[in-house]
């Protein structure tokens, strides 16, 4: 995740290099403003869809990294505790165990194949005002992880 919900039109942004292509999900907008130019959640990730279960079958853990290299000052900032909690709900719904009643996009699923990550890695390399809310995100993820049927990693 290289952009969070405020910076990517309501859904976080992803950058999986050449593993995803073609199109992005249509995000719902953020705080009453819908800017489709900011839609940045990649939709078609065929090598991820096949690679995740293969690596997991070999005993490898798949972690989704949040943050990383800072290109611009506010590339990934959680602007409030509410944003942080929403981000956690999104991460769990989109990349965690499948919830059949959930309404989140699932970038790593395709045609009956459900993939879930084994955890989330907070790679926060630069602290700014928006990153101080990361604790709200980790708290909500931790609560969801306690309800999961398998162990989930948070680093």
Residues 6+ apart with CB under 8 A from 120: 63, 64, 65, 66, 91, 95, 141, 152, 153, 154, 155
Q: What SS3 state is found at 130?
A: helix
**Is 82 one of the annotated active-site residues of the chain?**
no
Partners of 77 in the beta sheet? none
Q: What SS3 state is found at 154?
A: strand
Q: What is the set of active-site residues?
A: 125
């Amino acid at each position: 995740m290289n952009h969070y919900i405020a910076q990517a039109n309501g859904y976080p942004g992803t950058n999986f290099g050449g593993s995803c292509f073609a199109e992005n999900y249509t995000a719902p907008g953020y705080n009453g403003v819908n800017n489709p130019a900011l839609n940045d959640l990649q939709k078609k990730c065929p090598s991820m869809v096949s690679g995740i279960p293969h690596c997991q079958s070999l005993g490898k853990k798949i972690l989704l990294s949040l943050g990383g290299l800072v290109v611009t000052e506010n590339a990934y900032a959680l602007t409030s505790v509410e944003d942080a909690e929403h981000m956690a709900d999104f991460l769990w719904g989109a990349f965690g165990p499948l919830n059949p009643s959930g309404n989140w996009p699932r970038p790593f699923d395709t045609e009956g194949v459900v993939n879930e990550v084994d955890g989330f890695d907070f790679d926060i390399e630069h602290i700014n005002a928006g990153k101080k809310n990361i604790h709200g995100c980790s708290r909500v993820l931790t609560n969801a992880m306690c309800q999961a049927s398998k162990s989930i990693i948070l680093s």
